[in-house]
Amino acid sequence: MANTENFPDMAKASGRGRPTIYSEFLADQICVRIAAGDSVRKICQANDMPNEETIYRWILNLEEFSKKYRTAREIQQERYLDELIEIADEKPRVTPMGSTDSGAVQHAKLRIDTRKWTMARLAPRKYGDKMGLDHGVQQENPLATLIKRIAGTALPVAIEIPSGNVIDD
């Protein structure tokens, strides 16, 4: 059970008909809805749910709820992954003229892109864009490549010595 001295709104009712006391049952209801794809904002619109601030405070201060919330978000990402495949596999609507409804195609694309973006932000290592290990750095030094090419030819390579004089090799 939560320590109510850290949460004054958990100790007494607010009078607005919303529950103000943390319970395992309420935490489970919230997390099940998150796992099913609902946002915290949507969940909090229901009269039998706490407000957003309360839920975020629980995430920050109650380790037990925080773990459940993280697990619910992971499940939500897996759900989104399944939805991506379903949305992509849906046949697009056809207009009365018999052509593909481009608006429906764009809407499906938006739904897919939104889920992909959300997944990449919630779990960047798992669903984010993969970057190469070079991070945009050139694989080979162009100057070193040029020197290697020249060294393989009959052209002389000039070497600068510390005194500033140039000698031919």
DSSP state string for 24-36? HHHHHHHHHHHHT
Spatial contact of 19 and 55, defined as CB atoms under 8 Å apart: no
Q: Cα–Cα distance between 143 and 20 in angstroms, integer?
A: 68
Residue 147 within any structural domain of the chain: no
DSSP 8-state secondary structure symbol assigned to residue 96: T
Residue 133 within any structural domain of the chain: no
Residue 98 within any structural domain of the chain: yes
pLDDT of residue 14: 46
Residue 8 within any structural domain of the chain: yes
Token pair of 26 as six digits: 């309420």
User: What CATH number has the domain bearing residue 32?
Assistant: 1.10.10.60
What is the number of structural domains in the chain?
1
Residue 59 within any structural domain of the chain: yes
Residue 145 within any structural domain of the chain: no
Phi-psi region of 123 (alpha: psi -120 to 50; beta: other; left: phi over 0): beta
How much is the pTM? 0.59
DSSP 8-state secondary structure symbol assigned to residue 129: P
Q: Which domain holds residue 19?
A: 4-127
DSSP 8-state secondary structure symbol assigned to residue 17: S
Q: Cα–Cα distance between 62 and 55 in angstroms, integer?
A: 10
* Confidence band of 9 (pLDDT split at 50, 70, 90): very low
pLDDT per position as a tens digit, 16-67: 555 558 999 999 999 999 999 999 999 999 999 999 999 999 999 999 999 9
Residue 73: exposure state from Cβ atoms within 10 A (0-12, 13-18, ≥19): middle
pLDDT per position as a tens digit, 93-150: 888 888 888 889 999 999 999 989 988 888 888 888 876 555 555 567 777 777 777 7
DSSP 8-state secondary structure symbol assigned to residue 160: E
Residue 150 within any structural domain of the chain: no
> In Å, what is the CA distance from 80 to each residue of 39, 84, 85?
13, 6, 9
Residue 75 within any structural domain of the chain: yes
* Confidence band of 164 (pLDDT split at 50, 70, 90): low
Work out the average pLDDT over 3-16. Answer: 47
pLDDT of residue 75: 94
Q: Is 12 in a helix, a strand, or coil?
A: coil
